[in-house]
Chain A
Amino acid sequence: MIPANFNYHKVSSVNEAIALSQKLGEEAKYMSGGHSLLPMMKLRFATPEHIIDISKIEGLSYIKEEGDLLKIGAMTTQTEMEHNALLKEKYPILGDAIWLTADPSVRNVGTIGGNIAHGDAANDQPALMLAMRATVVAEGTDGTKSIPIDEFFHGFYMTALEPSDVLIEIQIPKAKKSSGGAYVKIERKVGDYATAGVAVHIELDDSGVCQQIGIGLTNVSAVPMRLERGEEILRGQKVTDDLIAQVGQVASEDCEPESDLRGSEAYKRSIVNTITKRMLNKALERARQ
């Protein structure tokens, strides 16, 4: 439970971080909260030569609506999000997820940016970002770039970020009237990674027709997964129980779970079906409020 030797560097600005990362090369890793990376280092699954501590960079911790966007600074901790009045009122899906993520001591330190940038399909936030159609803003050697969430997750622990890129901000389309989202995960005990998780974000028009829908799945695929076929069933349709059941079925078919200690593949597919339906109903209920 002791990491291999590494060199520790603390930086105070994004530019300093990028410059240092460039200088140190591929064996350098950024760390903010450290709650994904440090356990892997302690188990010696990850043995970076250099850790660049970006947690003291100021100005990257905020939650605000600007124009059409909700903007969350990458360094905002999960606890800050959990207690934020704006998120509680207008984006309850984030609270759903954070309440189910690890435990308070982890959430006090773990950041939204880290949760996403880790590129782990078992983390909760990737499914939410997929459902909410987020954009990831990063800064790197070639300036600022905005990466649509669909292009962000590349593989197991792999993302669109270049080694020197620092994740700066998460941008989410501002909540519209008659929109709602919800997230749940089935876990074996509190603080566990998901056996399966489903995030749903839905927008209705005045007649109750689904204008926009996003569905993201947690820990039932190697890469965080968006349920596009399920979304297509609902987009432009008046949502009925029958359609919801169809989406649940599609979710159970399209997810790619593996049998492990959390349960068999068949069990996970069944769970995904059930909670997809439940989250669609919960999101609808919130959208109609």
Chain B
Amino acid sequence: MFKCKTSPEVGGMGHSVKRKEDARFLHGKGNYVDDVKLPGQLTMVLVRSPYAYAKIKGINKEKALAIPGVLAVITGYDLKEFNLHWMPTLLSDTQMVLPTDTVMHQSQEVCAVIATDRYIAVDGAEAVEVDYEPMKALVDPWKALDADAPLLRPDKEGQKDNQIYHWERGEREKTDAAIAAADVVVKERIYLPRIHVASIETCGCVASYDKDTQKMLVYMTSQAPHAIRTILALVAGHVGLSEEKIRIIAQDIGGGFGGKVPVYPGYVIAIAASFLIGKPVKWIEDRSENLVNGFARDYHMDCELAATKDGKIQAFKVSTLADHGYTDSSANPSKYPTGMFSICTGSYDYEHAFAELDAVYTNKAPGGVAYRCSFRVTEAVHAIERMVDKLAAKIGKDPAQLRFENFIKKEQFPYESPLGWSYDSGDYKQTLEKAMDMIGYDDYKKEQAEKRAQGKLMGIGICTFTEVVGAGPSKDFDILGIAMFDSAEIRVHPTGKALARFGTKTQGQGHETTYAQILAEELGIPYTDIQIEDGDTDTAPYGLGTYGSRSTPTAAAAAAMAARKLRAKGKKIAAHLLEVSEDDIDWEVGKYFVKGAPEKCKTIQEVAFAAYTNFPAGMEPGFEATHYYDPPNMTFPNGAYICVVEVEEETGAIDVKRFVAIDDCGNIINPMIVEGQVHGGLTQGIAPAMYEGIVYDDEGNVLNGTLMDYLVPTAVESPHWETGHTITPSPHHPLGAKGVAESPTVGAPPAIANAIIDALSPLGIEHLDIPITPAKVWEAIQVAKAKA
């Protein structure tokens, strides 16, 4: 286990110090975007389409403009004058800011009402008369590829059908051959439906353009403020928004989970409105707007897993249909249109794999948000972990045993996966053993046998996942060409206290605490003496932001590297102060001392003071350092989760009796914060497993567009989470750390699904797609009984 090098007062790595940010949150002093109130501020509300697919024959603004306080109604034609009615997406597609003639999904932005306050703006939006001519919506992604399907994007040059792209990785022929020759092949079509990130704070911004200074100040709920600034400069450079004049400030954020990475049309309209009017314009989504627009998942995966009759896995193939809605607005690194989906070979050692994906247009909201899953890892892990259990069931082998026999072994790391990843570290066997010990696996197996003999339905589900986080190395990872490094800048003041700024953006991760702990670890300055800032593009160093569990792999590494630069400089100063050669100076946390004479020493605080007051001749004064960290590889956190459920046959009710999660995220900065993240992530894992999913009808209407019907689980639905760790430090990360925030969201759904399906297996049920609700279980039981 990890041993702390620092005292609790210094609070370096491994100490569960309390979060510095919590006092203001607990006292109601958080500062969110809707708290921003600027003099003369106007409010914008969007009119949205009731139809999934319709021609817009006309927009009558008159009645809205007649309402006192309504100042403007902005349509696509108004934006077209400035060529701002379309915008590029991160993945080279195009998205309407406001339409001129056609709406492509229900709740699409149709026009914007600007008014003196929100109440008036909402009345104004109600009074706008839009003349729609509804068309037959294309909702089923499988039908989108039919030859006679209507062409949804004729605006795109050369677009002849509704396919957006085809992607593949691995060796098709060899994989097909291995599957054809295998003793056992299990197949399944697995669907992960659209889900919604459900952050408590919806998206929004306050755009404030000052015509005199020509500065555009935007307060925004953004996980990636620097990227947003650059994108705005690229999108709106032609109307005069130059990057040095744009300032994005992301203050406190009430949950991001990936949903606050993209640029939404509302941002662009508010910014354009403020630019034209010269007054601050606030736009805040309401709950249903937030719920219906933007999504994660929506992958239909045809999986084939081949093995010997003893259960040695030989090949895995997955062919996916991805429903992207009317535009591919996925927030992925540019070279990874399917994100990190190619991690789908999992934690197992075999030779052949092939993954392909076809992305299609439909009349649904665009999205492809990486909801707490580091870019499509949730889909990938669900596919392989369901299939491994299906294989175990097919050959009658214990799913834990099957995993042990197929795991990549500890000594095989770094492991080159068949689809091209270089797994950095792990000890899968130890992690699963720990989970089995903690839950009492063998006892549950016995209990299950007894219960089954009594006709009761009890299931045990395992998921042993491998995550891939920390995008990413500059050779592969960029967003619009910008390499996905991240940054830290440290200023140690003369009195030995410090201010550090980062290119990432905290939104619940606790960076104000954990980054300070890293600097405490590296410099020996107590974490309480270190102020952490982020989110203001005028002050923070450039970075790509916080999502995909990338902050620890990138910015935390940058913090350590910048601190080490300071330590090197400090050594020279200490040598100067102690009047010895630099080679005679040693370091232990917080102080420099003369080798062999530890009583002759200078603390980091004394050295910092000297950096401003008594530095060696010729040395640049000051005690500051900056580092831009370009990671050499991704980190590969992993875990073993085990879930025990009981299902009531009569009603389909599902009772999650136990859930044990063992995570290996390398060295841990703050165990308490990691545990909190794991608890939150597990709850966000049971959510899609048993509750959540956006439901569309045949006309493309969202049927559960409020939190009354979109079922976000609460503490009542959450089982008692039992957590633990194994630690295999990342060999390439300066702190040996890996990302963790998304592991539980990735690992929990297959563990829960496997457990429920295991419970139902005596009835002959082999697979259910998530969310697995009591109603779905009940229906499956009726079908199974009718067959029997």
B529 in the interface (beta carbon within 8 A): no
Write the nearest CB–CB distance from B668 to chain A, whole angstroms. 32
> Which chain A residues lie closer than 8 Å to B714 at the CB level?
189-191
Q: How far is the CA of A191 from the CA of B118 in the complex (A)?
A: 29
Q: Are B651 and A5 in contact (CB under 8 A)?
A: no
Q: Which chain B residue lies CB-closest to A193?
A: B708
The number of residues on chain A lying at the interface, defined by a beta carbon within 8 Å of a beta carbon of chain B, is 22
Q: Which chain A residue lies CB-closest to B650?
A: A274
Q: Are B773 and A188 in contact (CB under 8 A)?
A: yes
Interfacial residues of chain B within 763-788, with CB under 8 A of chain A in the complex: 773-775, 778-779, 782
Stretch at the interface among A149-157, A203-211, A260-268: A260-268
> Which chain A residues lie closer than 8 Å to B712 at the CB level?
189
Annotate B96-136 by CB proximity to A: 1 below 8 A, 0 otherwise. 00000000000000000000001100110010000000000
B703 in the interface (beta carbon within 8 A): yes
Write the nearest CB–CB distance from B429 to chain A, whole angstroms. 37
Q: Are B713 and A2 in contact (CB under 8 A)?
A: no
Q: How far is the CA of A270 from the CA of B777 in the complex (A)?
A: 13
Q: Are B286 and A4 in contact (CB under 8 A)?
A: no
Annotate B712-736 by CB proximity to A: 1 below 8 A, 0 otherwise. 1110110000000000000000000
B233 in the interface (beta carbon within 8 A): no
Q: Are A188 and B122 in contact (CB under 8 A)?
A: no
Q: Are B118 and A267 in contact (CB under 8 A)?
A: no
> Which chain A residues lie closer than 8 Å to B703 at the CB level?
261
Counting residue pairs across A and B whose Cβ atoms lie within 8 Å, the total is 53
Q: Are A188 and B123 in contact (CB under 8 A)?
A: no
Write the nearest CB–CB distance from B115 to chain A, whole angstroms. 12
Report if A1-B651 is in contact (Cβ < 8 Å); known contacts: A44-B126, A190-B716, A267-B778.
no
> Which chain B residues lie closer than 8 Å to A186 at the CB level?
651, 774
> Which chain B residues lie closer than 8 Å to A162 at the CB level?
none
Q: Are B779 and A267 in contact (CB under 8 A)?
A: yes
A26 in the interface (beta carbon within 8 A): no
Report if A261-B709 is in contact (Cβ < 8 Å); known contacts: A189-B714, A271-B651, A274-B651.
yes
Q: Which chain A residue lies CB-closest to B710?
A: A261
Q: Are A1 and B119 in contact (CB under 8 A)?
A: no
Q: Are B711 and A264 in contact (CB under 8 A)?
A: no
Q: How far is the CA of A79 from the CA of B695 in the complex (A)?
A: 34
Q: How far is the CA of A2 from the CA of B122 in the complex (A)?
A: 7
Q: How far is the CA of A213 from the CA of B190 in the complex (A)?
A: 49
B704 in the interface (beta carbon within 8 A): yes
Annotate A276-289 by CB proximity to B: 1 below 8 A, 0 otherwise. 00000000000000
A16 in the interface (beta carbon within 8 A): no
The residue in A5, A188, A190, A262 that gathers the most chain B C-beta atoms within 10 A of its C-beta is A188
Write the nearest CB–CB distance from A214 to chain B, whole angstroms. 24
Q: Which chain A residue lies CB-closest to B648?
A: A274
Q: Which chain A residue lies CB-closest to B716?
A: A190
Write the nearest CB–CB distance from B482 to chain A, whole angstroms. 37
Q: How far is the CA of A267 from the CA of B650 in the complex (A)?
A: 10
B287 in the interface (beta carbon within 8 A): yes
Q: How far is the CA of A266 from the CA of B695 in the complex (A)?
A: 20
Report if A188-B691 is in contact (Cβ < 8 Å); known contacts: A4-B126, A262-B775, A266-B782.
yes
Q: How far is the CA of A191 from the CA of B717 in the complex (A)?
A: 11
Write the nearest CB–CB distance from B689 to chain A, whole angstroms. 13
Which one, A1, A188, A189, A263, contacts B286 given CB within 8 A? A1
Write the nearest CB–CB distance from B256 to chain A, whole angstroms. 22
Q: Are A190 and B651 in contact (CB under 8 A)?
A: no
A192 in the interface (beta carbon within 8 A): yes
Q: How far is the CA of A261 from the CA of B714 in the complex (A)?
A: 19
> Which chain B residues lie closer than 8 Å to A192 at the CB level?
708, 711
Q: How far is the CA of A44 from the CA of B119 in the complex (A)?
A: 13
> Which chain B residues lie closer than 8 Å to A274 at the CB level?
650-651
Q: Are A270 and B778 in contact (CB under 8 A)?
A: yes
Q: How far is the CA of A266 from the CA of B650 in the complex (A)?
A: 13
Q: Which chain B residue lies CB-closest to A271?
A: B651
> Which chain A residues lie closer than 8 Å to B778 at the CB level?
263, 267, 270
Q: How far is the CA of A261 from the CA of B123 in the complex (A)?
A: 31
Q: How far is the CA of A188 from the CA of B708 in the complex (A)?
A: 10
Q: Are A267 and B716 in contact (CB under 8 A)?
A: no
Q: How far is the CA of A106 from the CA of B779 in the complex (A)?
A: 33
Which one, A4, A189, A266, A270, contacts B711 given CB within 8 A? A189
Which one, B118, B126, B775, contacts A263 given CB within 8 A? B775
Q: Are A2 and B119 in contact (CB under 8 A)?
A: yes
Q: Are B691 and A189 in contact (CB under 8 A)?
A: yes
Report if A189-B709 is in contact (Cβ < 8 Å); known contacts: A4-B126, A261-B704, A270-B778.
no
Q: Which chain A residue lies CB-closest to B288?
A: A1
> Which chain A residues lie closer than 8 Å to B716 at the CB level?
189-190
Other than A44-B126, A261-B704, A261-B709, give 5 A-B pairs with Cβ distance below 8 A: A2-B118, A186-B651, A189-B712, A261-B695, A274-B650
Q: Which 5 A-B pairs have the closest CB atoms?
A: A263-B775, A190-B716, A2-B122, A1-B286, A189-B711
**Sample of 22 A–B contacts (CB below 8 Å):** A1-B286, A4-B123, A186-B651, A186-B774, A188-B691, A188-B711, A189-B691, A189-B711, A189-B712, A189-B714, A189-B716, A190-B714, A190-B716, A261-B703, A261-B709, A263-B773, A263-B774, A263-B778, A264-B775, A264-B779, A266-B779, A267-B652
